[in-house]
Amino acid sequence: MQIAVRANVRTAKEARHTLDRAFNVAFRGGLVLGFVLVGLALLVLIIIIMVYEQVLFAKDLETSPNMRSTSYEMMFEAIAGYGLGGSTVALFGRVGGGIYTKAADVGADLVGKVVENLDEDSIMNPGVIADNVGDNVGDIAGMGSDLFGSFAEATCACLVISASSHELVNANAFYFPLMISAAGIFVGVITSFLATHCMSVDQPDKIEKVLKYQIGVSTVLMTPMLYILSMWCLPAEFSFEKAVEGRNVTNTKAFICTALGLWSGLVIGYITEYYTSTNYAPVQKVANASHTGAAPNIILGLALGYRSTMIPVLSIAVSIFVSFSLANMYGISLAALGMLATLTTALTIDGYGPIADNAGGIVEMTDAGEIARERTDALDAAGNTTAAVGKGFAIGSACLVGLALFGAFTTRTGMETVNILRPLEFAGLIIGAMLPYYFSAMTMEAVGDAASLMIIEIKR
């Protein structure tokens, strides 16, 4: 958040000179979010593992090497709390930040456009300051904490499942999930260099292309990295003691599972971009529907939103089915990590959006000129589209991570079946399906109430 605030001002300053320089500043501000989050999450997890090994099990492993697998099972069960802690804080960061930013955004826009007839980001509108702060709180801190929770949970679930395999523990191959994330950092460095040094952003229509190429290039580069890591880190064949279905897993099957998750993330990213970009039919349809009133606009917008879920859900379903068929619950946890392998790039693109948005507000409030405003508007338009890509990654990875955590639980407990036709299980299933709707209703109500109060206060 500190870097994003500094990048806001610097992007606004560079927009007075050239579009390319303004883009580079905003993009590098987003890079901080991606690299700091993944780097720190990985570093802390490795330190925790090293400390636990020394404090809890060093003497036991020296006296009884045969206890190695059991000791690591106990250790990774404890380390699973790292993911739980991340998700607990992410809930408050995402929901609290989200309600704040949307309430500020709606309040400032309604006062300016409907109540007082002010220009966008007018210096006469005090709500603009809250709106600019909200972009950092919701899209930088909120999205970062959300994806950190997914990253930590996916890694911890994979570690818990890994500990139930003697071959993986004896070969220290349980570090494979951490190696995936580490490789993603190096790939992120290469792709970000291409964006800032090899691709020129001298025209507004090139901004979205450069950001879109980031996801594709990182996915293509990550695929051979996953293959090399699978062959190098994993034993040629390994099995799990308490697998739901007993079968041997090979390092090639593990690579396929991880690659499936990686490419599913690419599909989700591009589908999200298709349904939110002004260059494609869905957004253009919604815009055309506005000519006949607000009601057709809302109806068509909801319809397109519902339709946009089909391909992402199908891609996740294929990943789950194939991964489970090849490597049981370990395969699903690898698919979740594969989807998060390019997290540095996804977060960079997501962090770029609010920085470009706030730069436009600063240009308007400081009266920096029409040319600067046009450039920041072009940066902001691309940022709004690409910011949705990060949300797609968050949702897709959360689905796989939830299943991976359930897989870790069943692996450790040795459960063979879960009968959802039994009354208690089925009741739990439909209650769980209801909760997101109730939760969403409460958050939307909170945004509406806060926005109404903001409008009254801004007018005062």
Distance of CA 122 to the CA centre of its chain: 32
User: How many angstroms separate the CA atoms of 365 and 354, rounded?
Assistant: 16
- Helices 343-365, 19-52: axis angle to 10 degrees equals 140
User: How many angstroms separate the CA atoms of 205 and 449, rounded?
Assistant: 38
Rounded to 5 degrees, φ, ψ at 283 are -65, -40
Query: Tens place of pLDDT for every residue, the chain, 460 residues?
Result: 899 999 999 999 999 988 899 999 999 999 999 999 999 999 999 999 888 888 776 666 555 555 666 778 888 888 888 988 888 888 888 888 889 988 988 888 888 878 778 777 788 888 888 888 888 888 888 888 888 988 898 898 888 888 888 888 888 888 899 999 999 999 999 999 988 888 888 888 888 888 888 888 999 999 999 999 999 988 888 888 765 555 688 999 999 999 999 999 889 888 888 888 888 899 999 999 989 888 999 999 999 999 998 999 999 999 999 999 998 888 999 999 999 999 899 889 888 988 998 998 899 888 888 898 889 888 888 877 777 777 777 788 888 888 888 877 877 777 777 788 889 989 999 999 999 899 999 999 999 999 999 888 888 8
Q: Indicate the domain borders of the chain.
A: 2-418
User: How many angstroms separate the CA atoms of 437 and 445, rounded?
Assistant: 12
Global pTM exceeds 0.85: yes
Report CA-CA distances (Å) from 209 to 55, 72, 219, 273, 386: 50, 46, 16, 11, 10
